[in-house]
A = this chain, B = another copy of it.
């Protein structure tokens, strides 16, 4: 991941280099501040008085000045808060790691508060020996560490019908990206001994919704993890504490939380959550049976409706995230004029398989209105489509798997709005 923005140490300033004359704007304002800025000339309380000591926060929390950085739901979108969803504040984040406290939530029966001492993982069905594992038993299996994105199949779903939600937190915030520590699922299946006829697994959660999904054995033996840590510490209760399934690159509802049972069978179960939900209705009335993989997708997080440009014309940093359930993201294109001209974005940070990627585009804003879009290319060569290209193939009945290109319209005051352009 060691990358460099490609600027050599220079005696000329970045802002001036980037701007020529225009740079005087920013430079002038900062130089002026040096003369009479009371905030730098007068001591502030934190310069003068000792702060709290190390006993104050055995487990830390954000500054009070960051109270606006929080998960939010959309009341009209989901009336019932128990079977509901909230959204990651993508416009307030940077890099590729989603902090545990801000990972979006999707529950079918609310947050299960599981006591790990009383949690068990059963492996049954077409196995040599049905087994039941305690958390301590799980700690005796080999572990791996991987960073993966988890995206809800319904992320951006409301946008099928047009531009409805005014902020990337709401249009694209059903995603998070964390480092998991877990046990390769194939090792746990091998412990029970999968019978030759075992070709599917049913994974079941311990929460009140009894969430279940069918997963083909090929995927189960490939890269699935039985995970117990996220970003170094125990899973959060809302993310499946003490143990969840990780299904890299596949839709989030398959990543069963509070994982309590894995049944081995010879065909899919077609349970509630893979028939009444999480199927894609096509234009001709037929529905896709399964849509597991999340296609390549990207979104500009800044500027965006919740994060307008407030500094006026001049040097401006555009940033966003991109991901693919099929590999890495070697390239993201960015346009400021609705697709007339495309520019290569600068990727910065680790590029992991089936993980979120961070991109930047630094430009000198002239203060005129813009139409911002990003377009992801994944390592298979797939290019993120427009919404209309998706509609041509999938019709307009869909809710799930909308990976179309998102447009933000920025006005001359820097305000951004969710719009759609043909």
Contact = CB atoms under 8 A, between A and B. Distances in A.
A232 B60 contact: no
Nearest to A6: B142
A286 interface: no
A118 B43 CA distance: 10
By secondary structure, the A interface counts as: loop
Given A112-B46, A236-B62, A54 B81 contact: yes
B208 A143 contact: no
A382 interface: no
Interface in A108-142: 109-120, 122, 128-134, 136-137, 139-142
Nearest to A120: B40
Number of copies: 2
9 A-B pairs closest in CB distance: A51-B110, A53-B81, A145-B349, A58-B70, A13-B191, A51-B111, A94-B181, A46-B112, A54-B86
A422 interface: no
Given A9-B190, A59-B102, A60-B100, A95 B145 contact: yes
Number of chain A interface residues as a range: 35 or more
A56 B314 CA distance: 41
A354 to B, nearest CB: 9
Given A44-B206, A310-B136, A70 B62 contact: no
Interface of A: 1-5, 7, 9-17, 26-27, 29-31, 33-34, 37, 39-40, 44-66, 69-73, 80-82, 84-86, 92-103, 105, 107, 109-120, 122, 128-134, 136-137, 139-147, 179-181, 184, 186-187, 189-194, 206-208, 210, 221, 229, 231-234, 236-238, 241-242, 258, 310-311, 314-317, 319, 346, 348-350, 352-353, 358, 360, 362
Nearest to A86: B54
A34 B233 contact: no
Contacts of A231: 95, 97, 99, 231
B47 A208 contact: yes
Contacts of A141: 14-15, 315, 317
A137 B179 contact: no
B232 A53 contact: no
A210 B57 CA distance: 22
13 contacts: A3-B144, A7-B142, A11-B128, A14-B187, A39-B118, A44-B115, A46-B208, A51-B113, A52-B110, A60-B100, A65-B117, A95-B181, A99-B99
A116 to B, nearest CB: 6
Task: Give the interface centre of A49, A99, A112, A194 by most chain B CB atoms within 10 Å.
Answer: A99
